[in-house]
């Protein structure tokens, strides 16, 4: 018998934005889809777009 452990982290948009900024990304935006739609309670997914300042 083989056993495995899976650890799953679920982050909010606010937490992801903060983590990206702490990692050095200056411009961080959150969208509700790949088409750039607004992220809200009806969003099907969370898309984070970040640009790192060099």
Instruction: Please list the pLDDT of the chain residue by residue as tens digits (54 residues).
Output: 999 999 999 999 999 999 999 999 999 999 999 999 999 999 999 999 999 887
Please report how many Cα atoms fall inside a 13 Å half-sphere around the Cα of residue 46, on the Cβ side.
13
Q: Who's near 45: CB < 8 A, 6+ residues apart?
A: 32, 33, 34
Provide the Cα torsion 9, 31, 45, 10; round to 10°: 10
Domain ranges within the chain, ordered by starting residue: 13-52
Residue 1 C-alpha from the chain's centroid = 36
Q: Which residues pair with 48 in a beta bridge?
A: 30
- The pLDDT assigned to 8 comes to 93
Residue with tokens 């809200």: 40
């Amino acid at each position: 018998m083989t056993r495995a452990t899976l650890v799953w982290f679920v982050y909010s948009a606010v937490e992801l934005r903060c983590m990206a900024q702490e990692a050095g990304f200056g411009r961080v935006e959150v969208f509700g889809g790949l088409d750039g739609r607004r992220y809200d309670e009806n969003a099907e997914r969370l898309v984070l777009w970040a640009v790192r300042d060099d």
